[in-house]
Amino acid sequence: MKLSFAGILVGITLNALVSYETADAALCMCHPSSCVVINANSSMLSHPELYCPANMMSINDLLILRYNDTILTVDSFAPFTNLTSVEIFQGSLSRIEPGAFEKTPALFKIIVRSNVLSTLEDYTFRGLDGLHILYLISNNLTTIAPNAFYGLKNLTYLVLSGNQITQLPSTLFSSSPLLRSVSLNNNMLTGLPTGIFDNIDSLFKLDVSYNQLSEFDFPDLQVTLLFLHNNSLTSLQVGDHVKVVQAHQNRIRTISGSGFNLTDLLLSDNAIADVTPIMAMKNLSKLSLSNNPLRPDSTFGSLDRLEELFLSRTNLMISEQTFANLSWMTLLDLSYNNLTQLDFSMFAAMNKLKSLIVAYNRIETINFIELREYLPELRVLEICGNGWNATYLERMLGKMRKHKLRADMQGLSHSLIFSSVFVELCSAGVETSTKPSFDYSDYYSEDFGDGIEQEIAEYTTSSPRPQPRVSESAKAGHVSSTSKPMTTMVPMFALEPTASVRLNTMVTADVILPAEQQPVVGSSPLYITFQVLVYTFSVFGIVCLVVLGYYMRKRRFDVRRATSIDSADSVRLV
């Protein structure tokens, strides 16, 4: 019996190994409306019935993991007439022939990610009038022909992130006037041609971050979210239509433009000294100027709608006029400014302030009675790194508890488990490095991810704000966007999912690595074979135990029945 069971297990193992002869064998897993294909090639796409279930030709969504051929030939997807979505992830694809998708006119979305595409030829996507979403991410693209996107008249989302593009033709977007989101981040762009955005009616999001741009001169561009960070810009011009600008990590010295509708402006890590042009942007609610050589006498009182202000490492000298009229402030960052004392009367106008960051200064003491008098709504007072020893810091934390204050955003200072660690870390000497020891992820959160649903979102606000000011002279030129409360500003495509775009949730575009640095995702056929074997052995192991237990029990009962009481060796009791 043991030999028979061993033979069965060996046979199952050999059968599984023969079924998956090589690591390049195609594997197809299908749902009634979608299929996942591993190790596909042109032959498999041309004759899917040989590899996959018969209903595969009627599916809507196709995901290909590892396309092992180098060319996507003409009419490659001809058998799949009902396709609405195609994704080709991680493979050897180096060329897409024009017309490869021509026989699938119902395509709504195409994603080609982590392949080795180097060039997009003219009319690559011909016949796809209904295509809305095109993602070409981490493909080593270097050249795009002027008519590569010809015919994509309904294209809405275009992502070319994580490639090696150095320049773009000026007519690239001429066939796609309905574009709402364009992502060109993480490339090698040194400039953008004049007029490249002229044929686009109205952009919601434009991301050109992580490039090598030295200028961005598009004053008439109608865009809501503009991401320019991590470039080499020396100047910034803010148009009337933009609402959120992220231009940190540049070399910006001068700022121009009205910024009439601008609400969020991130300019940290630049070379700005004069904030006068920014003071004209009256609708600002979030402003970051950290790590800029500001003039010590800079004031922000004219921005009376400001809610969050970041002034770390600016060497600002605080006076009565510095923060006058800022009655809507909820967060103020003054860390790393060599402050020696806190006069809370200077913050008297900020009676709604909830978080004050004065970490890594040289403050000697804090008057909590005065603090509560001028800042009744304050809940967080960050005081780390002011040169206090552990004993003095613990005493200050005790006073803060009495006044219902936390010493950090996360509440670690009040935690029974982490309070001692917090004291140990915060009682160190004043830091003198050129960069803060904390990052702004404590105060910002990323709302825009890599998903399609998060690429475009409505611009909403979660806190009440005053009505935007509209001057009489401005009413004629700017009618709709500022004549209503800001909570009603909704982009044209109101059907898109909402996502908050705030500076305390400052949008930071995801960094997309080049193709050679992308992590390998997806199981190989050998790993799938191993899983099949494990599951098979587990099931047959359980069956073997049950059968073995049955036979042992039967044998025990047979032995008992074979021993008769009338045998010669038995003893009869009288």
For 245, which DSSP code? E
pLDDT, position 528? 64
Buried/exposed code over 147-174 (b: 16+ C-beta within 10 A; e: otherwise): bbbbbbeebbbbbbbbbebeebeebbbb
pLDDT, position 59? 87
pLDDT mean over 485-512: 37
How sure is the predictor about 33, in pLDDT bands with cuts at 50, 70 and 90? confident
pLDDT mean over 433-439: 44
- pLDDT of 458 > 70? The answer is no
Buried/exposed code over 487-511 (b: 16+ C-beta within 10 A; e: otherwise): eebebeeeebeebbbbbbbbbbbbe
What digits encode the pLDDT tens for the residues 362-378?
999 999 999 999 999 99
From residue 394, alpha-carbon distances to 26, 102, 227, 276, 457 in Å are 64, 70, 42, 42, 45
pLDDT, position 429? 56
pLDDT mean over 456-478: 45
Q: Which two three-digit tokens encode residue 172? A: 């690239």
From residue 11, alpha-carbon distances to 14, 526, 544 in Å are 5, 18, 15
Burial bucket for residue 272 (CB in 10 Å: 0-12, 13-18, 19+): buried
Element at 29 (helix H, strand E)? strand 27-31
pLDDT, position 425? 86
Range name among 218-222, 383-387, 523-527 with the lowest pLDDT average: 523-527
pLDDT, position 179? 96
pLDDT, position 548? 86
How sure is the predictor about 146, in pLDDT bands with cuts at 50, 70 and 90? very high
66 and 36 in contact (C-beta within 8 Å)? Answer: no
Q: Is the pTM of this model over 0.85?
A: no
The total of other beta-carbon atoms located within 10 Å of residue 60's CB is 16
pLDDT, position 81? 86
- pLDDT of 432 > 60? The answer is no
How sure is the predictor about 518, in pLDDT bands with cuts at 50, 70 and 90? very low
From residue 466, alpha-carbon distances to 154, 303, 306 in Å are 38, 12, 10
Distance CA 286, CA 271 (A): 19
pLDDT mean over 311-337: 94
**Average pLDDT score over the chain:** 80
- pLDDT of 509 > 80? The answer is no
Give the residue among 195, 244, 189 at the shortest CA–CA distance from 220. 195
How sure is the predictor about 535, in pLDDT bands with cuts at 50, 70 and 90? confident
What digits encode the pLDDT tens for the residues 214-239?
999 998 899 999 999 999 999 999 98
pLDDT, position 490? 35
Helices (H), 403-464: 419-426, 452-455
What digits encode the pLDDT tens for the residues 54-85?
667 788 999 999 999 999 998 888 888 889 99
Q: How many percent of the chain have pLDDT more than 90?
A: 54
The total of other beta-carbon atoms located within 10 Å of residue 246's CB is 24
Distance CA 509, CA 393 (A): 38
How sure is the predictor about 499, in pLDDT bands with cuts at 50, 70 and 90? very low
- pLDDT of 508 > 50? The answer is no
